[in-house]
């Protein structure tokens, strides 16, 4: 079996502390779904809504430091309903992150095609989450071709016979200014997506269900990094982000404050052949490399 040149490293602890050992500009992408604010303290990672922004901001400062200049920070988050209202901590967080120097470049919507069932008297099922895209600079790395989706079959039939009207749209009707050029579609079989991402939530075949499907980090990893780049998930949970990175031949670092999650994530990762798994106790720079256990 051949070893490839990418690694997955998992560390147990608070990312605020752990990240201090990493050099500035190391990562090309930070993708994470942080513990959501929750008024119930006993919940894992339960930070009170009113303390959330301050709590997050300290960590975001480290994120900013370890992210490369042309890298991206994608935050999958959704505000909870508190006392019948959507809480505003996410809005406040966006404003605060901008104050911290981040550019709020875009907000992608993850549309959850099969969202959790349920019925309430004054609310429908929540079928979407935010994927906030922050960057350090306006000229960040983006590889749009990597996430193109197959076009429908319509265009094949369409292109077989190009009519005259297809080459230039008749703007005599209203004159609103578009000139559509069908010829642009020649030879294409893929289309660019929009900023709405349609993905079903994965329910269930894993032990611990992740908060998002593998395809979500995959999409952003393909969009914002190249093979061999470095991906960070500071709240790695069951390790979905690192799993996606590994499958796409990116290096990754996953951090979580819950030891069980780190163990779980590491055991998931060990199932990917070709990944070098770093010792959890290793600190960056003097890591003992260890063979992945459980490689077949």
Site residues, its own copies (CB under 8 A): 84-86, 88, 91-92, 94-95, 98, 103-107, 109, 111, 114-117, 119, 121-128, 138-140, 142, 144, 173-178, 181, 192-196, 203-204
DSSP lists the bridge partners of residue 133 as: 74, 106
Site residues for DNA, window 18-77 (CB under 7 A)? Answer: 33-36, 39-42, 44-45, 48, 76
> Measured between alpha carbons, how far is 253 from 13 in angstroms, rounded to an integer?
13
Residue 140 site contact among DNA, its own copies, none (CB < 5 to 8 Å, cut-off depends on kind): its own copies
68, 203, 210, 281 from 255: Cα distances, Å:
18, 24, 15, 12
Residue whose C-alpha is closest to residue 11's, from 242, 250, 283, 294: 283
State the residue for tokens 């779980």: 264
166 scored as a contact of DNA (CB under 7 A): yes
In angstroms, give the least distance from the CB of 203 to DNA. 3
In angstroms, give the least distance from the CB of 244 to DNA. 15
In angstroms, give the least distance from the CB of 44 to its own copies. 15
Site residues for DNA, window 174-203 (CB under 7 A)? Answer: 174, 176-181, 184, 188, 191-192, 200-203
Per-residue burial over 279-291, b = 16 or more CB atoms within 10 Å of its CB, e = otherwise: ebebebeeeeeee
Largest CA distance in the chain: 70
Residue 103 site contact among its own copies, DNA, none (CB < 5 to 8 Å, cut-off depends on kind): its own copies
In angstroms, give the least distance from the CB of 154 to its own copies. 10
Site residues for DNA, window 214-273 (CB under 7 A)? Answer: 235, 237
In angstroms, give the least distance from the CB of 114 to DNA. 5
> Measured between alpha carbons, how far is 162 from 122 in angstroms, rounded to an integer?
51
Helix (H) or strand (E) segment spanning residue 128: strand 128-135
> Measured between alpha carbons, how far is 33 from 14 in angstroms, rounded to an integer?
15
> Measured between alpha carbons, how far is 251 from 9 in angstroms, rounded to an integer?
8
Q: Which residues bind DNA (CB under 7 A)?
A: 33-36, 39-42, 44-45, 48, 76, 78, 80-81, 84, 112-123, 125-126, 149, 151-155, 157-158, 160-161, 163, 165-166, 169-170, 173-174, 176-181, 184, 188, 191-192, 200-205, 209, 211-212, 235, 237
């Amino acid at each position: 079996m051949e070893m490839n040149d990418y690694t997955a490293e998992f560390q147990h602890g608070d990312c605020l502390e752990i990240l201090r050992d990493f050099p500035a500009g190391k990562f090309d992408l930070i993708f994470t779904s942080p513990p959501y604010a929750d008024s119930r303290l006993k919940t894992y990672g339960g930070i009170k809504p009113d303390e959330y922004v301050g709590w997050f901001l300290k960590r975001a400062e480290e994120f900013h430091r370890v992210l490369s200049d042309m890298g991206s920070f994608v935050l999958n988050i959704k505000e909870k309903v508190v006392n019948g209202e959507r809480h505003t901590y996410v809005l406040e967080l966006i404003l605060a992150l901008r104050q911290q120097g981040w550019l709020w470049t875009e907000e992608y919507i993850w549309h959850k095609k099969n969202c959790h069932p349920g019925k309430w008297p004054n609310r429908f099922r929540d079928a979407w989450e935010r994927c906030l895209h922050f960057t350090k600079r306006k000229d960040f790395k983006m590889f749009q071709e990597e996430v193109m989706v197959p076009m429908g079959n319509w265009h094949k039939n369409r292109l077989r016979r190009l009519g005259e009207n297809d080459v230039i749209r008749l703007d005599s009707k209203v004159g609103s200014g578009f000139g559509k050029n069908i010829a642009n579609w020649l030879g294409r079989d893929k289309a660019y997506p929009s900023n709405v991402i349609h993905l079903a939530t994965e329910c269930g075949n894993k032990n611990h269900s992740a908060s998002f499907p593998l395809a979500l980090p995959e999409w952003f990893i393909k969009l914002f990094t190249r093979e061999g780049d470095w991906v960070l998930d500071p709240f790695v949970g069951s390790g979905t982000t690192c799993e996606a990175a590994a499958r796409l031949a990116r290096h990754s670092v996953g951090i979580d404050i819950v030891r069980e999650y780190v163990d779980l994530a590491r055991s998931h990762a060990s199932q990917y052949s070709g990944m070098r798994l770093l010792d959890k106790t290793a600190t960056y720079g003097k890591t003992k490399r260890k063979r992945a256990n459980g490689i077949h």
